[in-house]
Amino acid sequence: MTKQADFDLAAAHRFFAADCFNRAWELMDLEQRTSEQERLMVALNQASIFHWQQRPDCEPRHLSVGYWQASRIQALLDHADDALRQAEVCLALSADLTPFYLGYANEAMARAQSLANRLLPAAEYKQRALELAAQITDEGDRKLLIDDLATL
């Protein structure tokens, strides 16, 4: 039986979805991480996705961003298979989204494929992401994607 919360559960999910995502991002930005920080980074990302899934306003674009972050984290940790799995989920969630989200899903796949030493698929996903970047109307969003693709 589920116990009724003594606080605003929806507000808690809103808070923790964003807070966990941002805290994971802060760890991603570190030049070096301890093993504990690496584990925390993964846990924060997964908690963020969980809290998004509990929100009534959760849409595929929100989960697309969460799984993109999950794939990038696994790539940072040099876990090619996990990066690929997370990128596949991101790509599936992004299939009907705008070029920004679909472009980033392809960026995640390119990065994961490259990490797995699958250079031809990596190049194909990167090219698709570049094509999608050209369709992004917001200059700042387009630049973000192009800059991330340049790190591949």
Q: Give the number of other Cβ atoms within 10 Å of residue 62's Cβ.
A: 19
Q: Residue 1: is its pLDDT beyond 60?
A: no
C-alpha angle 97/103/23, rounded to 5°?
90
Place of tokens 């200059």: 139
Residue 142 confidence (pLDDT): 98
What is 103-149 written as a DSSP string?
Answer: HHHHHHHHHHHHHTT-HHHHHHHHHHHHHHHTT--SHHHHHHHHHHH
Half-sphere exposure of 101 (CA within 13 A, CB side): 19
- pLDDT tens digits for 17-69? 999 999 999 999 999 999 999 999 999 999 999 999 999 999 999 999 999 99
118 Cβ contact partners less than 8 Å away, ≥ 6 residues apart: none
Angle between helices 99-115 and 119-133 (to 10 degrees): 160
pTM to 2 decimal places = 0.93
Residue 3 confidence (pLDDT): 67
- pLDDT tens digits for 84-137? 999 999 999 999 999 999 999 999 999 999 999 999 999 999 999 999 999 999
pLDDT category at 74 given cuts 50, 70, 90 is very high
pLDDT category at 7 given cuts 50, 70, 90 is confident
